[in-house]
Structure 1
Amino acid sequence: MTALEKRSISGLSLIFALRMLGLFMILPVFSVAADQYSGSTPLLVGLAIGAYGLTQAMLQIPFGMLSDRIGRKKVIAFGLLLFAMGSVIAAMADSIFTVILGRLLQGSGAIAAAVMALTADLTRDDHRTKAMAGIGISIGLSFTVALASGAALEHWLGLAGIFWLTALLAMLGIAVLYFWVPNPQRCIVHRDVEPMPKQFRKVLGNIELMRLALSISTLHFLLTLSFFALPMALHHYAGVERSQHALLYLPIMLIAFVCMVPFILLAEKQRKMKMVFLGAIVALGIAQLSWAILPSTAFVILTGLWLFFTAFNVLEASLPSMMSKISPLDCKGTAMGVYSTGQFLGAFLGGALGGLIYSYLNIHAVFAFGAIVTLFWWWLVKPMQAPRHLNSRILHIEPLNQANAPRIMAEINAIPGVIETMVVIDEGVAYVKFSPDDTDTDALDAFSVQST
């Protein structure tokens, strides 16, 4: 990778990380500290936790499309400003309704699709996977830091201080965008990372893709559902002071991250993706069930938390890979857009339903509902086909026109191991999906350099 590409990826990863920190730092503390706001009820507290997901789900695809028209940086900067405004509103709030408004505004700064598109603009196609992996790692690390630091920051700064800090992080993200991230030389629609409106019907009608979209939605549903109840379980049932929660979350998160690695290797290297996928869902269900039926001691809660986050990390890392493997080439970006929308919608529903259930029952009922949802999820995805181990590549072909496109596509499809080819004349490229174990990649690469 060139120095410019490395600079682009580091800057955009940092922007993503700063925003994720702002969204998730309140997760481990909000439900036990929200009684400071007037009008607080369990339902409204749950809505405040998950509210960002609703506006994020509604706007992330439109914002991505808008970035094609007016420019990536303008949309990203506007989204970060919305996020900062939402943080300020929440920081100044004395009513739970104002906090909800702030969280909705935070979520309306839906920059994920625009950041991915800018990443594609600033990196060469053969380094696209590395770039997206770098952003994915930054998201995972920021999530870990957010959970570990949120409890400590609430003890030192209070909830208002956390929201002020998130506003500052958003402004820092704007500075990184304009002073560190390079300006792109091109701004085109990338079918592999951006949604195409004409493909939505095809994606929504693909049962395998929708199973995975439902999976990421359920995963983040369980996340916000659990973190509505877990801080209260630790504080009110296990007797752990709020100031001590951070000391418990950090080692659990680190151990879970280490425990995740063998399962990812088993899924990718040993081609056991479906087995690992279903096993992780079972682990999530066991964690929820343990919280629901066992005594709420610190040992039980933290053991379940380790199991939960090990499985959560496995699924968070493997689901995008599965989505990429089974998505048809002509709608890969659209499929990922639907996937992301499902993720944020699940986060909203988890917080809202967690609060609703707790309003009428108790914490154990919240976890029991999570276990039931997990069982239904496992049943729904069990019939899915195991995804084949496939890679994708983008070949730049010059000249490419109406006359030679059919011949080039036929020649690429004739290479053993090639599964699917899509030639896009306007972009001058061929998108190819192939089996890395059966394909001569040199034969593929030859199409990028040969005179056609």
Structure 2
Amino acid sequence: MSQFMSRQTISSKRERISLNPQERKASVLLALLFSTRMLGLFLLTPIFAVAAQSIPGGNNATKVGIALGAYGLTQAIMQIPLGMASDKWGRRPVIMGGMLLFVLGGVVSALAQSVDGIIVGRVLQGLGAISAAITAWVADATRPEVRTRAMAMVGSAIGLSFAVSLVLSPVLVGQFGLSGLFWAISLLGFVCLLLATFAIPEYPQAEPIIRAKASDVLKQGDLLRLNFGVFALHFILMMLFVVIPGVLAQLGQFDSGSLWKVYLPVIVLSFALMIPMVIYTEVRKAHRRVLQWLVLALAAIMALMPWASFSLWAMVVALFVFFVIFNTLEALQPSMVSRVAPAEYKGLAMGFYNTTQSLGVFGGGLTGGVIAATVGVHWALWIGAALALLWWLTTRQFKTVL
């Protein structure tokens, strides 16, 4: 009898910690919404530096960098205000408004006759900063004991959308040109608008037990280190994509429509290696140690890239190593934020995390463009290596046991 009761208790616990059908549906739909929107943002990144050369201003590396990073600046400014607005007026109307701005920005970019017009469109897209509102909607739709799993579904979908963008964007530009790429981005935004309007149910908003203040997050040293980490990671990514498409095009005589021949094998192989690394980290609970080794490896590969840039095969290998590191860090760091932040201000901590990520996107695009235009692409890569080394030094100061 006691064995039967024990089995029944275990079964009950398993049932309680599993996503129920309603939570699973909401998590899948919100992951689809988030990843589709991010795909629309990511599509421009791997191809723009080459594709922009066909329009006025496209040979100006500084303007290209600003166009790539412009949405990051407005995202950083609007992320927390729109998250607060979603608390006051509800998730759906804020996300619908954000997606309307995203679609409008895509249309402006598609009709633009120069890089200057694309910068305007990208600024408009960034004003629709809905990441915090979507994350809050996931929290509304799930119980606390399964919320991490739901967030992981969203994070995995975003990582997949970035991988898809690396392959899909060169194909779209090759078939329809840069304007066609922006029309595709606007279409993805419209799909997101339909999902937010009709597909996802509204849920009662979760009320925090304790209302945290910004100072609570800013006093947490380990959260600040993780925020600096995501800033550095996306700064390096955007700086890399200001200069690397042109390097690949020159080394392999690729046009903008054929860069997928490099990106596809690199991203598939990097994901295949990233998955066991994430599993190892979670099983061994080795988050801090793995983070330190990955960041040090990132500094090393960025320092080696200037020499790799003289050979196509060396550049492909360097990109493969970079994306193994990038994809693993992209999955690892949000998990660490959720472990470090106390329950009463996890949401606010993620808001700051998303904001610093957006600042990294803007800073990397702008800096990469300026450096490439003034002192050359190799200096942009070396600056990325120096930033990664500085990041590694901060990881050695972690106080939380991870």
Q: Same fold (TM over 0.5)?
A: yes
Residue 223 (1) aligns with residue 237 (2): yes
Q: Where does residue 258 of structure 1 map in the other structure?
A: 272
Pick the aligned partner of 2:70 from 31, 44, 51. Answer: 51
Pick the structure with more helix per residue. 2
Pick the aligned partner of 1:20 from 38, 63, 79. Answer: 38
Equivalent pair of 2:278/2:332 in contact (CA under 8 Å):
yes
Larger Rg: 1
Q: Which has the higher contact order (CA 8 A, sep 6+)?
A: 2
Equivalent pair of 2:230/2:333 in contact (CA under 8 Å):
yes
Q: Where does residue 438 of structure 1 map in the other structure?
A: none
Residue 176 (1) aligns with residue 200 (2): no
Q: Where does residue 130 of structure 1 map in the other structure?
A: 149
Whole-angstrom CA distance in 2 between matches of 1:245 and 1:136: 26
Residue 187 (1) aligns with residue 201 (2): no
Amino acid in the other structure paired with 2:285:
R
Whole-angstrom CA distance in 1 between matches of 2:198 and 2:228: 38
Q: Where does residue 277 of structure 1 map in the other structure?
A: 291
Shift in CA distance, 107/50, structure 1 to aligned 2, threshold 3 Å:
same
CA deviation after TM superposition for structure 1 residue 191, in Å: 6.8
Residue 294 (1) aligns with residue 308 (2): yes
Amino acid in the other structure paired with 2:110:
A
CA deviation after TM superposition for structure 1 residue 381, in Å: 2.1
| Per-residue deviation, residues 365-389 of structure 1 (Å, max 9, x unmatched) | 211111111112112222223633x
SS in 2 for 1:316: helix
SS in 2 for 1:237: helix
Amino acid in the other structure paired with 1:182:
P
Q: Where does residue 49 of structure 2 map in the other structure?
A: 31
Equivalent pair of 2:61/2:242 in contact (CA under 8 Å):
no
Whole-angstrom CA distance in 2 between matches of 1:101 and 1:190: 37
Over the aligned positions, Cα root-mean-square deviation in angstroms equals 1.6
TM-score normalized with structure 1 length = 0.82
Q: Where does residue 345 of structure 1 map in the other structure?
A: 359
Q: Where does residue 391 of structure 2 map in the other structure?
A: 377
Pick the structure with more strand per residue. 1
Amino acid in the other structure paired with 1:278:
Q
Q: Where does residue 422 of structure 1 map in the other structure?
A: none
SS in 1 for 2:259: helix
Q: Where does residue 28 of structure 2 map in the other structure?
A: 10
Equivalent pair of 1:214/1:342 in contact (CA under 8 Å):
yes
| Per-residue deviation, residues 326-363 of structure 1 (Å, max 9, x unmatched) | 11232222111111111110011000000000111111
Q: Where does residue 217 of structure 2 map in the other structure?
A: 203
CA deviation after TM superposition for structure 1 residue 4, in Å: 2.2
Amino acid in the other structure paired with 2:163:
T
Q: Where does residue 84 of structure 1 map in the other structure?
A: 103
Q: Any gaps of 5 or more consecutive residues in structure 1?
A: 389-452
Amino acid in the other structure paired with 1:105:
L
Whole-angstrom CA distance in 1 between matches of 2:196 and 2:329: 30
Q: Where does residue 358 of structure 1 map in the other structure?
A: 372
Q: Where does residue 139 of structure 1 map in the other structure?
A: 158
Whole-angstrom CA distance in 1 between matches of 2:30 and 2:136: 11
Whole-angstrom CA distance in 2 between matches of 1:157 and 1:248: 20
Pick the aligned partner of 2:185 from 142, 166, 177. Answer: 166
Whole-angstrom CA distance in 2 between matches of 1:220 and 1:58: 17
Segment of structure 1 superposing worse, 219-228 or 368-377: 368-377
SS in 2 for 1:182: coil
Shift in CA distance, 32/77, structure 1 to aligned 2, threshold 3 Å:
same
Equivalent pair of 1:43/1:352 in contact (CA under 8 Å):
yes
| Per-residue deviation, residues 184-220 of structure 1 (Å, max 9, x unmatched) | 2x1243579xxx5x42112112221101100011000
Equivalent pair of 1:357/1:366 in contact (CA under 8 Å):
yes
Equivalent pair of 2:234/2:361 in contact (CA under 8 Å):
yes
Whole-angstrom CA distance in 1 between matches of 2:286 and 2:400: 8
Q: Any gaps of 5 or more consecutive residues in structure 2?
A: 1-18
Segment of structure 1 superposing worse, 214-223 or 237-246: 237-246
Amino acid in the other structure paired with 2:140:
D
Equivalent pair of 2:308/2:318 in contact (CA under 8 Å):
no
Q: Where does residue 117 of structure 2 map in the other structure?
A: 98
SS in 1 for 2:213: helix
TM-score normalized with structure 2 length = 0.92
Shift in CA distance, 307/122, structure 1 to aligned 2, threshold 3 Å:
same
CA deviation after TM superposition for structure 1 residue 158, in Å: 0.9
Percent of residue pairs identical: 37
CA deviation after TM superposition for structure 1 residue 27, in Å: 1.0
SS in 1 for 2:394: helix
Equivalent pair of 2:247/2:309 in contact (CA under 8 Å):
no
Whole-angstrom CA distance in 2 between matches of 1:167 and 1:345: 23
SS in 2 for 1:244: coil
Q: Where does residue 6 of structure 2 map in the other structure?
A: none
Whole-angstrom CA distance in 2 between matches of 1:363 and 1:271: 38
Whole-angstrom CA distance in 2 between matches of 1:371 and 1:191: 42
> Alignment length, in residue pairs?
383
SS in 2 for 1:375: helix
Whole-angstrom CA distance in 2 between matches of 1:336 and 1:232: 34
